[in-house]
Amino acid sequence: MESLQFLFQGLSIALQPLNLLFAFFGCLIGTLVGVLPGIGPISGVALLIPVAAMATSSLPMEQAATASIILLCGVYYGAMYGGSTTAILINTPGENSSVCTTLDGYQMAKQGRAGVALAICAIGSFVAGVIACIGLVFMAVPLSEFALKFSPAGQFSLMILGLCALSSLAGKSQVKAFMMTTLGLILSMVGVDPISGVARMTFNYSELYSGIEFLTLAVGMFALGEVFKTILTNDYADGEPIKVGSIIPSKKDLKDSALPILRGSLLGFFQGLIPGCGATLSSFMVYTVEKKLSPNKANFGKGAIEGVAAPEAGNNGASGGAMIPLLTLGIPGTGTTAVLMGALIMFNITPGPLLFQDHPEVAWGLIASMLVGNVMLLVLNLPLVKVFAKVIETPPKYLIPGIIAISVFGVYAVQGSLFNLFLMIGSGVAAYYLSKNDYPIAPIVLSLILGPMIENNLRRAMNLYNGDYTMFVKDPISLVFLTIAFLWVAIPQIMKLRGKKVLVEEG
């Protein structure tokens, strides 16, 4: 009952006119971000951070943080909704988590059922979003209260687990992912040491004394990185989009998709709780499970509506579930939640166990806005499917200059520094070449954010335990987290070695 009272308080905040406007704007922009191939939720959220900061600059800090994070979260789950549009209409996923949707969605479109597929995606996404929000309401406070009992060693080990989880699942190579994680940790140390006051890795540049700004790096690597990729590789959708047709599903369509939506929502939500899983992995796993359980197995890959409903519910459920470790433990499990965490820190609000005590307006306003935002997205997506489908045809020659302009003006307006503009451009170029060679970008941003927190907790633990490193394994909670982190990294390597051994024996 206490959680419901907090939810009603959050609704009173989320339903304020300004927050409603920001939620609507975020959902609308997020849907467009999802519809446009190649941009993705990480780039969309990173791109909107300076816009949110400028739009709320005249508000008190608490109200500015609430409105901004509502806007950015709207972009996040709006992109999850919109990503299915291109997946179904032109066989090009708007973002990675919609890859599975192409398998049956595009086949349905070729059969003249694109409208029905898009409608089922919207309904499945809405159901998953509501289930994730309900789970967040009832799990947030107990988890945050439990996390308050963590010692500095436990908090340090929890963040190490978060880094290992995301790094081990990002990209094709675990080694490359850990290299990027290490690079991010090194970058997080740039600046003046908070305890000794000694400048670290600043190379006598006064601009680096305050450290590398998260906003600069995020916009450069995610937004400009995608721009450079599009310019240099012509990586955008072409061809004639398929006509949408009727968007009203039949009773049989609704019946066939009901259980897949429910299963996908629940599986996706619980997978989202695990740092590192993310919406993409969840959509693949949900699709695999549904294919095994469905009585209609033979039709998968040929236009099965279950193959559209399940992964879309799965990726939206995972997106909502990923908010729980972010808000309650301060551990961003995906690249997008890492960017959201950085946005909160920009407003001097640190996600974690104390968030619900120190900033209840931000925490519960955000949770309630997810419920409001999902209703908005359902209303937006069903009637405006044909309108959003037209956005696919936006020529890159108009889209790319707009993204560059927002990036440059946004970062300069917030930071007021030419150095940060050059750093943003440089990080965009670096991101293009890194991603071209299969080096994942998300671990850099995650470790840049978590680096100072890991260092602070390590130093606190060392002061508390008089330099005794064995306390990290003597503390029960810390030992559990370190063990899980080790297994998270070791098990995939063991499985890979076993697979190679089997291949050698068979060969």
- For every residue of 276-305, which 3-state class applies, written as one string? CCHHHHHHHHHHHHHHHHCCCHHHCCCCCC
Looking at residue 389, what is its pLDDT?
60
SS (H, E, C) 302-363: CCCCHHHHHHHHHHHHHHHHCHHHHHHHCCCCCHHHHHHHHHHHHCCCCCCCCHHHHCHHHH
pLDDT above 90 covers a percentage of the chain that reads 0
Q: Are 486 and 157 in contact (CB under 8 A)?
A: no
Q: List pLDDT tens digits, range 279-298.
A: 766 777 788 778 777 777 77
* Positive/negative CA dihedral, 329, 19, 69, 25: positive
Tell me the average pLDDT across 186-194: 86
- Tell me whether residue 20 is in a domain: yes
Residue 103 has pLDDT above 70, yes or no: yes
Nearest of 258, 306, 256 to residue 286 by alpha carbon: 306
Structure confidence at residue 501 (pLDDT) = 60
* Count of structural domains within the chain: 1
The alpha carbon of 220 is separated from its chain's Cα centroid by a whole number of angstroms, namely 17
Answer left, alpha or beta for residue 330, where phi above 0 means left and psi between -120 and 50 means alpha. Answer: left
Identify the band that residue 277 occupies on the pLDDT scale cut at 50, 70 and 90: low
Residue 232 has pLDDT above 50, yes or no: yes
Half-sphere exposure of 92 (CA within 13 A, CB side): 21
The pLDDT score that the predictor gives to residue 461 is 84
Q: How many helices (H) and strands (E) does the chain have?
A: 23, 2
How far apart CA 365 and CA 322 sit, in angstroms, is 17
Determine phi and psi for 200, rounding to 5 degrees.
Answer: -120, 125
Q: Measured between alpha carbons, how far is 450 from 453 in angstroms, rounded to an integer?
A: 5
Q: Does 507 reside within a domain? A: no
- What is the model's pLDDT at position 394? 62
Q: Does the structure show a pLDDT above 80 at 449?
A: no
Burial class (CB in 10 A: 0-12, 13-18, 19+), 184: buried
Q: Is residue 149 part of a domain?
A: yes
- A 10 A CB-CB count for 361 gives 15
pLDDT reading at 171 higher than 60? no
From the CB of residue 470, how many other CB atoms can be counted at a distance below 10 Å?
8
- Please state the rounded mean pLDDT for residues 249-269: 85
Question: Average pLDDT of 461-478?
Answer: 84
Residues 358-378 have a mean pLDDT of: 85
The pLDDT assigned to 49 comes to 83
Give the pLDDT band of residue 239 (cuts 50, 70, 90): very low
> For 132-165, how does the pLDDT look when each residue is reduced to its tens digit (9 = 90+)?
888 888 877 777 677 667 778 887 887 787 777 6
One-letter amino acid identity for 372?
V
- Asked whether residue 491 is assigned to any structural domain, the reply reads yes
Asked, for residue 505, whether it belongs to a domain, the answer is no
Q: Mean pLDDT, to the nearest integer, of 301-322?
A: 83
Q: How far apart are CA 451 and CA 290, in angstroms?
A: 39
Q: Whole-number mean pLDDT of the chain?
A: 79
Residue 456 lies in a domain: yes
Greatest mean pLDDT among 250-259, 408-417, 446-455 lies in 250-259
The residue among 27 and 219 whose pLDDT is bigger is 27
Its domain, for residue 272, covers: 1-498
Asked if residue 183 is part of any domain, the answer here is yes
| The dihedral formed by the CA atoms of 317, 319, 325 and 327, expressed in degrees to the nearest 10 | -110
Contacts (Cβ under 8 Å, ≥6 apart) of 437: none
pLDDT at position 167 over 70: no
With both helix axes pointing from N to C terminus, report the angle between 306-321 and 99-110 in degrees, rounded to the nearest 10: 150
Q: What gap in Å lies between CA 52 and CA 45, rounded to an integer? A: 10
Q: What are phi and psi of 302, to 5 degrees?
A: -120, 10
Question: Largest Cα–Cα distance in the chain?
Answer: 70
Q: Which pLDDT does position 242 carry in this prediction?
A: 55
Tokens 């293009």 appear where?
A: 432
CA contacts within 13 A on the Cβ side of 192 = 9
Question: For position 255, what pLDDT does the model report?
Answer: 84
* Residue 506 confidence (pLDDT) above 70: no
Q: Of all helices (H) and strands (E), which one includes residue 200?
A: strand 199-200
Q: In this structure, how many other beta carbons lie within 10 angstroms of the beta carbon of residue 217?
A: 27
- 191-192 vs 199-200, strand pairing mode: antiparallel
Locate the DSSP E strands across 28-81: none
Does residue 502 surpass a pLDDT of 60?
A: no
Q: Distance from first CA to last CA of the chain, Å, rounded?
A: 62
Whether 432 shows a pLDDT value over 70: the answer reads yes
- The whole-number average pLDDT for the span 225-253 is 69
Tens-digit pLDDT profile for residues 49-96: 888 888 887 888 888 888 888 888 888 888 877 777 777 776 666 666
CB–CB of 249/116 below 8 Å?
A: yes
In percent, the amount of the chain with pLDDT more than 70 equals 84
- Asked if residue 428 belongs to a domain, the reply is yes
Residue 9 half-sphere exposure, CB side, CA atoms within 13 Å? 14
